[in-house]
Amino acid sequence: MNQDLVKLDRFDGNNYARWKDKMMFLLTALRISYILDPELPPPPEEPRTSAEGVLPDAEEFERVKKERKKREEDELLCRGHILNGLSDRLYDLFTEIKYARNIWSALDYKYKAEEEGTNKYLIAQYFDFVMVDDKPVLEQVHALQVIVNKIRALKISLPESFQVGAIIAKLPPSWKDYRKKLMHKSEDFTLEQFQKHLHIEEESRKRENKVTVPVESNVHYVDGSGSQSKNPALKVRKNDEQFKKKANQDGEQKKKKGSCYVCGKKGELPGERYEARNLCVKAARYALVEGTLYKKSFSLPYLRCLRPSESIYALQEVHEGICGQHLRGRTLAQKILRQGYYWPAMQRDAIKFTRRCDKCQKFAPISHTPVVPLTSIVSPIPFAYGEWIYWDLFPWRQGNDDL
């Protein structure tokens, strides 16, 4: 038998239905899956002398002996394969069970019931799935179909028209025009046809981007002149004449061209000397890895730089998401930073976001600070001492009895 067929991922408590199908296929290929049949009759007993006193022949003894031996070998082999497919923790838990059928029933009773109880979480995961512009659309559609297959395993059916409509609604923001185009169409697509349309649209977008690729940011572009410094981003040309402003025929300033010290693409430097130097210094703090911009950090791994739409989504999820704590502005920014994300105005955006939060305003602690600032009195209060001295200064009249 092929050795690749025998290799199975060890079951650690997750994805029981998938592991069960793989294990059943392996046992069927080995012709020992009948051991797990709950209606399997017991092994034949040794033949005995009949009521008339007739002794069984030697062939009958031999046949029963072979059947019993084969049943014992298949039982041992089936039990060994099931236990070998478990993780070390589950192996120690189920190794005390003697028969393979009992191990199979115990696994089915424990983990099948747990997976059936996660149907609400899978449905919530399906509705909360969000597509982004950084990943291919078809790859994200396949990830969504994996969730659909898990839901179907729980005997929850989702029509194809519902799945197509959900995918259209979850398309990334850059596909907004294509989404509107699909909404106006009256014809219905099957899931396979819709994936073909997405594949064609995605390929056409890739070709258009190859023809005209706009420069999104000049943060990481530095001058590519000869430099003996270890970090070329920190090396600034010493010749002041190279940083002087030079006007072209239209009276505009020419920008100095250079290449990125990370990816090697051509870019431009500002004509002002100090602006160019500051740009070179800032560029050393960033790195471009497989088309994604990261910010270098001293004590943390590289921080992924987020776009404006992604930064708003990160603020919403961390502030008021499933595990959100409605933190204040600076604390919210620090928590996003610890998760490995960064953008230059994250503290300012976090403070503005928390100030606009309705729940934070509604349940904020009441401030007991006076509206008007208090004024301290330097001189003593009049009449604080020797009140009896001034009694004779007030003439007696009706109504002044209190004096």
CA-CA distance, 133 to 164, in Å (whole number)?
19
For 330, the token pair is 């600076």
pTM: 0.37
Structural domain boundaries of the chain? 3-46+58-116, 119-211, 232-286, 303-362
The SS3 call for residue 201 is helix
Residue 167 corresponds to which amino acid?
I
Q: 221 - beta bridge partners?
A: 260
Task: Write out the H or E segment, with its range, that includes residue 4.
Answer: helix 3-6
Residues 327, 354 contacting (CB under 8 angstroms): yes
Phi, psi dihedral angles at 245 (to 5 degrees)? -75, 130
pLDDT tens for the chain, 403 residues long, are: 444 455 677 888 777 778 888 898 989 998 888 888 888 888 877 766 665 666 667 787 788 888 889 988 999 999 999 988 898 888 888 888 888 889 988 888 888 766 665 667 778 888 888 898 888 888 888 888 888 887 887 778 888 888 888 888 889 888 888 888 888 877 788 888 888 888 888 888 887 776 444 444 444 444 444 444 444 444 444 444 444 444 444 444 444 455 544 445 566 777 778 888 888 888 888 888 888 888 887 777 888 899 888 888 888 888 888 777 888 888 888 888 888 889 989 999 999 988 888 888 888 777 777 778 877 766 665 555 554 555 555 566 665 555 5
Calculate ∠ Cα 15-20-24, nearest 5°: 160
Secondary structure of 111-177 in HEC code, one letter for each residue: HHHHHHCCHHHHHHHHHCCCCCCCCCHHHHHHHHHHHHHHHHHCCCCCCHHHHHHHHHHCCCHHHHH
Phi, psi dihedral angles at 221 (to 5 degrees)? -100, 130
Calculate ∠ Cα 119-125-130, nearest 5°: 160
**Which pLDDT does position 214 carry in this prediction?**
44
**Which pairs from 259-262 meet CB under 8 Å and 24+ separation?**
259/221, 259/222, 259/224, 260/220, 260/221, 260/222, 260/288, 261/220, 261/222, 261/224, 261/231, 261/232, 261/233, 262/220, 262/286, 262/287, 262/288
For 31, the token pair is 């012709």
Residues 82, 102 contacting (CB under 8 angstroms): no
In the chain, pLDDT over 70 holds for what percent of residues?
73
Residues 245, 252 contacting (CB under 8 angstroms): no
